[in-house]
Homo-oligomer: A and B are copies of this chain.
Amino acid sequence: MKKLINRPENIVNELIEGFLLVNKNSIKRIGNLNVVARKEAPVMGQVGIVIGGGAGHEPVFLEYIGKNMADVEVHGNIFTAPNPKSILEAIKAADGKAGVILLYNNYAGDVLNFGVAQEQARSEGIIIDTIIINDEISSAPKQFMEDRRGTTSDHIIIKIAGAAAQSGLDFESLKTLLKKAIYNSRSLGVSLSACTLPETSLATFTIEEGKIEFGMGLHGEAGIKKVDMMDADNTAITILEMLIKDLPFSSGDEVVAVVNGYGSTTRMEMFIVARKIHSFLNEKGIKIYSTEVGEFCTSQEMAGISITLVKLDEEIKKYYDMSADSPGYKKF
């Protein structure tokens, strides 16, 4: 796979430089690090929201800072957790003396590095805690939920976190809200083709012609079943049946549904999947409050989609409903 890059070792730095030039009116860089913040951060008296993770999944997490979104983002190298030093600077850039929440996906490298930075921040007197996103249902059984990976509920969780923080919700209430929103979020995807690492142009795995794989991770982690190619409706049904059984989502529930494209999937395909989500959930008596279609969390040029369902209650809905303005996600 050919990629429009310059020297492979400069990919992430050039990505950040381009991102800053494009968003120069709203985003600033912290130090000379791969750490970016909305211009207003830190806001004194508000809980600061720090997000981050490996590069290569844009818009996640880089582009989700802004109005009613996160305050600061720390970007790692391709598919690699950011380093503790950068995370510590991100924490300081978000610290409005009302607590800082680290919000990221559940991967070992991230847990390790964010954990180290959190301890350092605490030792410097910053009020801080961690909330880990673990919405991907195929990566561990439900009784080991804390082992599940974080995936494509990210932008919804960040949106709720940012809206609540910028509305002035206090540190403890915000953590409780986010734990609930994450618990209510379930995601599962299907991959049709592999992604390549941009530095080497080599595929991280292969999926044979005529096959698709459910539950594959964003970095090529093995999925739960590889099957013959199915049509869009049956693919959506396969995912939805596993999703609704897992929480479970039941008749009378109200949800936000997300169709996420992994990279080379067309919006045409995403809308065809969205169509089936509506008829399927309608049959189950589950009400769709809102459907979001787009590339929210990608894996380079991987083909495939994931579906995320987030069960709403009045509190989650209140923050979901607020407008949001970030480079990667805008909502009126």
Contacts and interface: CB of A to CB of B under 8 A. Distances in A.
A95 interface: no
A49 to B, nearest CB: 20
Most buried by B among A18, A209, A212, A235: A18
B268 A303 contact: no
Interface in A152-198: 192-193, 198
Contacts of A209: 2
22 contacts: A2-B193, A2-B210, A2-B229, A4-B235, A4-B273, A4-B305, A5-B268, A5-B269, A11-B272, A14-B232, A15-B272, A19-B271, A21-B274, A21-B291, A56-B266, A56-B268, A58-B267, A59-B267, A263-B266, A266-B301, A325-B332, A330-B332
A264 B267 contact: no
A202 interface: no
B232 A293 contact: no
Contacts of A235: 4
A17 interface: yes
A92 to B, nearest CB: 25
A274 B58 CA distance: 15
A46 interface: no
B266 A192 contact: no
B229 A18 contact: no
A271 B63 CA distance: 11
A47 B63 CA distance: 36
B268 A6 contact: no
Interface string A288-332: 000111010010110111000000000000000000010000111
Given A2-B303, A18-B272, A18-B293, 17 more contacts: A2-B229, A3-B192, A4-B273, A7-B231, A18-B275, A19-B271, A22-B291, A55-B268, A58-B266, A58-B268, A59-B267, A198-B266, A263-B266, A264-B264, A266-B298, A266-B300, A267-B298
Number of copies of this protein chain within its complex: 2
B274 A2 contact: no
Given A2-B229, A6-B233, A18 B198 contact: no
B198 A21 contact: no
Most buried by B among A19, A22, A263: A22
Given A266-B198, A303-B301, A271 B5 contact: no
Most buried by B among A4, A269, A278: A4
A304 B264 CA distance: 12
A136 to B, nearest CB: 19
A127 to B, nearest CB: 32
Contacts of A231: 4-7
A209 to B, nearest CB: 8
